[in-house]
Amino acid sequence: MQKFFVKYWRKFLTNELRRLYMNTMKFTSTWFGNLNKIHWNRRAWEIGYRGPSLPQRKATGRPNLPISPYKIGLLRERFEREYNVMRYLSTPYLTSDKEQFYWEKYGSPEKLRLAEEKKIEQSTMPGKAKRISEFKNADKRVANIGNMLHYNRTVEDSMKDLIRRNRWD
| 35-44, 74-83, 117-126, 150-159: which is most confident | 74-83
Q: Which residue has the higher pLDDT, 1 or 120?
A: 120
Beta-strand ranges (E) seen in the chain are 131-133, 139-141
Same domain, 101 and 119: yes
Question: Are residue 136 and residue 156 in the same domain, yes or no?
Answer: yes
pLDDT digits (tens, 9 = 90+) for 45-54: 666 666 666 6
Same domain, 118 and 139: no
pTM of the full predicted structure? Answer: 0.24
**What is the DSSP-derived secondary structure letter of residue 55?**
P
The answer to whether residue 142 sits within a structural domain is: yes
- 79 has a pLDDT exceeding 90: yes
Position 74 scores a pLDDT of 94
102 and 117 housed in the same domain = yes
Q: What is the pLDDT of residues 101-142, one digit of tens each?
A: 878 888 888 888 999 999 888 887 776 666 666 665 555 555
The H or E element that residue 133 is part of is strand 131-133
Whether residue 42 is contained in a domain is answered as: no
**Domain range for residue 158?**
131-164
Total domain count, the chain: 2
Residue 138 in domain: yes
Q: Is residue 62 part of a domain?
A: no
In a domain, 135, yes or no: yes
Average pLDDT over residues 88-92: 77
142 within 8 A of 131, measured Cβ to Cβ: yes
Question: Of 70, 40, 71, 38, which is closest to residue 54 (Cα–Cα)?
Answer: 40
Which residue has better confidence, 156 or 115? Answer: 115
Listed range (99-103, 107-111, 143-147, 161-165) with the worst mean pLDDT: 143-147
Rounded to whole angstroms, the Cα distance separating 145 from 147 reads 6
69 vs 109, which has greater pLDDT? 69
Is residue 137 located within the same domain as residue 119?
A: no
Residues in the chain: 169
Q: Domain for residue 118, yes or no? A: yes
